[in-house]
Amino acid sequence: MTNVFLDYRLYHDRAVSLRETMMNLFNRKTSIENFRALDDVSIDIEPGESVAIIGSNGAGKSTTLKILAGIYRPTLGTAVSSGRIASLLDLGVGFHPDLTGEENLMLNGAMLGLGRNDMKALIPEIADFAQLSRFMDTPVKYYSNGMFMRLGFSLATTVDPDILLIDEVLAVGDVGFQEKCYQRIQDFREQGKTIIFVSHDLEAVSKLCNRTVWLHEGRIEMDGGAEDVLSGYLQKASARMKKISTTATPKEWGSREIWFDSVKLRNSDGIPTGIFRKGDGIIIDTVIKSRIPSRVDNVVFGFSIHRADGETVIGTNNLEMNQPLLSITGSLESSIEIDLDIEEPGTYLLGIALTDPEASRDYHWQEFFYPITLIEERKDPPLRLSQAVWKQE
């Protein structure tokens, strides 16, 4: 899509009857305002790319997908695509409640351009993947929400599209089914199909996509490799989270006789980031300053890692770990390198502290201060053969 603009008409107390329109006409009081959902957005996606679109609510992510799916026509600019598009914009909405699963699949197949016979041949596979083979002749109004979604996902991914558009719908069914969904999307990637994916789930983004577009208020903020864009996005998000966090709020206290003047996070490759993969070291680089004129010995430098709700997971310091304590005169650069085994990927909060337990002094605490996202990467190949032995007795 090139230079795409899209305006919505935003109604303030919208007039839906003729009488109201007439009155508005006479009063010359128009209650319509244009809202620009996309503002000069250009994205060029090559076949075989998997692209994630991220951004806060109302940034224009879903609108972008709808334009790519051909549902919206841009107010200005052009959007072109080629190949069969399957969209998971709203799972299963093409389904009519009174029709059976099979009848609905036939209808949806026609919408996607699949002939009767082609579709008939695919139905067992779709039903099987959705684990609904027994319910294909039941009207879908008797389906549970999960069944509905499963059928929708199964349909969209079985019809062999060239382009798959996904809008935040991977929370389908139970954990087992979600795993199957991810696997299927991975397969799509490996078959060289194009995937465009909107999500708030940054872990899924980093798993599934190699390119990420970050939208902010209808404009492209960043477009590039998933890692770069995600860390940029997280930095901005954490800056905002400091202001409006509903969970653990960052806290800072202490006498500040000795204080953290600057703190930077980077991974073991030296790249500044807030996202760490399995095997990456987390390195905290600090500049510590002191206003105490004399040299201060035995300063304890600690860190803690908490879940997003504030629950402490790890908390330790150089005293506890039998490592050299700090001695400060004026200014000092100090860093901690942390190696973690990631059991549960997710976003955590990192806190650091400077204390002197012997003199029972708290110099500077920054608790829940630095959000870090720990991700687990898919390994390729996932297994390696170390040995195989054939024996004959």
- Within 40-79, which residues bind other proteins (CB under 8 A)? 66, 69-73, 79
If the CB atoms of residues 160 and 203 are measured against other proteins, the closer one turns out to be 160
Provide the token pair at 146. Answer: 């999960």
Q: Note whether 117 binds other proteins by CB under 8 A.
A: no
Count the site residues for other proteins by CB under 8 A. Answer: 38
Amino acid at 227: E
Minimum distance of other proteins from residue 335's CB (angstroms)? 51
Please, which contacts does 130-135 make with residues 24 or more away whose CB atoms are closer than 8 Å? 130/154, 130/155, 131/177, 132/101, 135/101
- Binding residue (CB under 8 A) for other proteins from 45, 107, 263, 308: 107
- Binding residue (CB under 8 A) for other proteins from 57, 80, 344, 384: 80
Strand order, beta sheet including 281-290: 258-267, 281-290, 331-339
If the CB atoms of residues 18 and 321 are measured against other proteins, the closer one turns out to be 18
Minimum distance of other proteins from residue 376's CB (angstroms)? 32
If the CB atoms of residues 147 and 202 are measured against other proteins, the closer one turns out to be 147
Provide the token pair at 6. Answer: 């899209």
- Binding residue (CB under 8 A) for other proteins from 28, 111, 324, 381: 111
Q: Note whether 158 binds other proteins by CB under 8 A.
A: no
Residue 15: count of CB within 10 angstroms of its CB: 18
Q: Note whether 82 binds other proteins by CB under 8 A.
A: yes
Q: Note whether 232 binds other proteins by CB under 8 A.
A: no
If the CB atoms of residues 106 and 332 are measured against other proteins, the closer one turns out to be 106
Q: Note whether 169 binds other proteins by CB under 8 A.
A: no
If the CB atoms of residues 84 and 236 are measured against other proteins, the closer one turns out to be 84
Report the 3 state secondary structure along 340-369: CCCCCCEEEEEEEEEEECCCCEEEEEEEEE
Minimum distance of other proteins from residue 221's CB (angstroms)? 24
Nearest to 130 by CA among 191, 200, 140: 140
Angstrom CA distances, 59 to 33, 36, 242, stand at: 18, 10, 20
Minimum distance of other proteins from residue 128's CB (angstroms)? 23
If the CB atoms of residues 155 and 299 are measured against other proteins, the closer one turns out to be 155
Give 242-288 as a DSSP string.
HHH-SSSPPEEES--SEEEEEEEEEETTS-B-SEEETTPEEEEEEEE
If the CB atoms of residues 95 and 129 are measured against other proteins, the closer one turns out to be 95
- Binding residue (CB under 8 A) for other proteins from 58, 77, 139, 281: 139
Q: Could you tell me which residues are beta bridge partners of residue 284?
A: 265, 336
Q: How far apart are CA 160 and CA 182, in angstroms?
A: 16
Find tokens 């980077």 and name the residue: 266
Q: Note whether 116 binds other proteins by CB under 8 A.
A: yes
Nearest to 201 by CA among 157, 238, 169: 169
- Binding residue (CB under 8 A) for other proteins from 45, 99, 308, 338: 99
Nearest to 338 by CA among 294, 295, 370, 381: 370
Buried/exposed 231-241: b ≥16 CB within 10 Å, e otherwise: bbbbeebbeeb
If the CB atoms of residues 73 and 264 are measured against other proteins, the closer one turns out to be 73
If the CB atoms of residues 105 and 353 are measured against other proteins, the closer one turns out to be 105
Q: Note whether 85 binds other proteins by CB under 8 A.
A: yes
Q: Note whether 87 binds other proteins by CB under 8 A.
A: yes
Q: Note whether 90 binds other proteins by CB under 8 A.
A: yes
Site string for other proteins, 8-47 (x = CB under 8 A): xx------xxx--x--------------------------
Look at strands 219-225 and 211-216 and give their pairing: antiparallel
Q: Note whether 148 binds other proteins by CB under 8 A.
A: no
Residues in CB range of 217: below 8 A, 6 or more apart: 39, 58, 59, 60
If the CB atoms of residues 52 and 169 are measured against other proteins, the closer one turns out to be 169
Q: How far apart are CA 325 and CA 61, in angstroms?
A: 49
Q: Note whether 113 binds other proteins by CB under 8 A.
A: yes
Residues within the interface to other proteins (CB under 8 A): 8-9, 16-18, 21, 66, 69-73, 79-85, 87, 89-90, 93-94, 96, 98-99, 103, 106-107, 109-113, 115-116, 139
